[in-house]
Amino acid sequence: MKIELLVDNIELKALVREAIEDLGHSIENTSSVILAERNYYKDLLDKDKESTIILLINENESHHLQEALDLGVDDYINLPTNKEDIKARIRIALRTKKFVNDLDKANYDNLTQIYNRNYFDSQISHLISNSLADKSDLSLAIIDIDNFKNINDNFGHLEGDKVLQQVAQTISENIREDDLLARFGGEEFILALKTNLTTARLIADRISKNIKVKHPLTVSIGLSSLEDGDSVESLIKRADDKLYEVK
């Protein structure tokens, strides 16, 4: 594991470096865990939203600690300290980082690197509830690659995998950050759009026109929009029914 060290005090820097090396890790400029003195952490929080940040703070600076934790610092070490305490804090940070990374990976489809069906299922009910509560728009699109079996049969499954990746990338490039895209299964994708049906149709048309893969290929898209009394099942069923109408 790579660990970054942002410390000016020479003696403290040597102590932390020794602790890191004792644990068998290396010190790098880009890393997932950063140990930093107080004068560095605000810039880090502005620039780095992914790394675990451990603040090294003097006991007489404790009035800054609550602010640092509120802003997003993950842990802290009171100074003066010792090597064993530093090692313990690093171990905790690394275990937590691994746990979070493993959870995150479980939400993604290994092939296409978009969300998987399980993650979509865990989120769509919340989206529906929120939209019904605040009377905001929500639309659903089910996207199916037409005649995908022919690609597998004629060019092999590896080529089919590349097509799935390219289609997933095209869809991702033509939606907004707060839209929810997942692989629905096989050659189908599902997309929750925080917009009305008219705009959803425009987005669907844009996706269809921008599909760029090695082989001649089209997609069919079924759309539905949220109505009062809808459940997850009814919203998906209407989109699925529309998909089969257009195929």
Contacts of 51 (CB under 8 A, 6+ apart): 4, 31, 32, 33, 34, 44
- The sign of the torsion formed by the CA atoms of 123, 194, 198, 146 equals negative
SS3 195: coil
Q: Which residues pair with 220 in a beta bridge?
A: 144
* Token pair belonging to 33: 């865990």
Contacts of 224 (CB under 8 A, 6+ apart): 139, 140, 197, 235, 236, 238, 239, 242
CA distance 13 to 2: 16
SS3 26: strand
SS3 111: coil
Catalytic residue from among 187, 188, 227, 233: 187
Hey, what's the torsion of the CAs at 201, 204, 208, 212, to 10 degrees? 150
Exposed, middle or buried, 198 (CB in 10 Å: 0-12/13-18/19+)? exposed
**Amino acid at the residue 17:** R
Please indicate whether residue 187 is annotated as part of the active site: yes
Q: β-strand 75-79 against 139-145: which pairing, if any? A: unpaired
Which residues have a catalytic role annotated?
A: 187
